[in-house]
């Protein structure tokens, strides 16, 4: 019976669904995490009788007989809606409000992209990520600086002891992509450019189509725990129904085998 295979694909699909939901829930407190959604597609259909095929000299089958063979995972889509901003009052915490990613220089020399702006200062005074990767373009904070001010447009200024005026030490840049969902997740809140994402466009924060920088804030995860728990229960019920189909088919096959 094809129902065994069909129900099996349904159970596998719901396993994937639960995998995605569990990752969302696990990262509900991860800085700037973007939740994901599994998307499914139906499989090929067995054409027992094609719609529109001739059923007589002057008649055609209006709908035919098309029997589906199950479901498959079509993709796992990342939802990039803005997470809420949480105030930290840490001068090196920077949140992006709107579109954009910070560019990060990875140890391999590649450029990674992140919305996690919980930055720190290295022993050389360079603005770096929690893993010590430099933020592009290089921002260096002088040792004698007693305060750091980052404007909404990404201008980094420092206050030097004994000097009344703020000193400019750099300008942050943001990167945007035509298809942010096409970025390749690397873990550590980092993404890499792919052929699907398109090439990055760089500009200063606050430029048209670019977000602004909020100093002393970090972006929270956009995971809604209530929605995820609801989706988890729905996935569990769907899995149970597919398993019930397998059990029913097994009972039907058992009845057939016992016929005399």
Identify the pLDDT of residue 249: 86
CA–CA separation, 176 and 40 (whole Å): 28
Reply yes or no on whether the pLDDT at 54 is more than 70.
yes
pTM of structure: 0.85
Residue 238 pLDDT level (bands cut at 50, 70, 90): very high
Domain residue ranges in the chain = 2-80+223-257, 85-219
Chain-wide mean pLDDT for the chain?
A: 90
Reply yes or no on whether the pLDDT at 243 is more than 80.
yes
% of the chain with per-residue pLDDT over 70: 99
Residue 165 pLDDT level (bands cut at 50, 70, 90): confident
């Amino acid at each position: 019976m094809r129902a065994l295979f069909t129900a099996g694909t349904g159970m596998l699909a719901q396993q994937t669904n639960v995998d995605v939901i569990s990752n969302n829930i696990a990262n509900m407190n991860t800085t700037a995490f973007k939740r994901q959604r599994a998307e499914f597609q139906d499989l090929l259909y067995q054409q027992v009788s094609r719609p529109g095929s001739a059923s007589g000299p002057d008649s055609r089958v209006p709908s035919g007989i098309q029997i589906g063979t199950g479901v498959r995972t079509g993709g796992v889509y990342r939802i990039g809606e803005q997470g809420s901003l949480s105030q930290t009052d840490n001068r090196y915490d920077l949140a992006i409000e709107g579109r954009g990613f910070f560019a990060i220089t990875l140890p391999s020399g590649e450029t990674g992209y992140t919305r996690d702006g919980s930055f720190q200062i290295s022993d050389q005074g360079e603005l770096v990520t929690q893993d010590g990767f430099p933020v592009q373009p290089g921002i260096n904070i002088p040792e004698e600086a007693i305060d750091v001010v980052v404007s909404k447009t990404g201008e980094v200024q420092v206050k030097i002891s004994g000097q009344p005026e703020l000193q400019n030490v750099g300008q942050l840049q943001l990167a945007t992509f035509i298809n942010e969902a096409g970025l390749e997740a690397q873990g550590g809140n980092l993404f890499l450019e792919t052929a699907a994402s398109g090439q990055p466009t760089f500009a200063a924060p606050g430029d048209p189509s670019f977000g602004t920088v909020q100093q002393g804030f970090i972006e929270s995860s956009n995971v809604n725990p209530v929605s995820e728990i609801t989706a988890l229960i729905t996935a569990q019920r769907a899995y149970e129904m597919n398993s019930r189909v397998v059990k029913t088919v097994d009972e039907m096959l058992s009845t057939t085998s016992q016929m005399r």
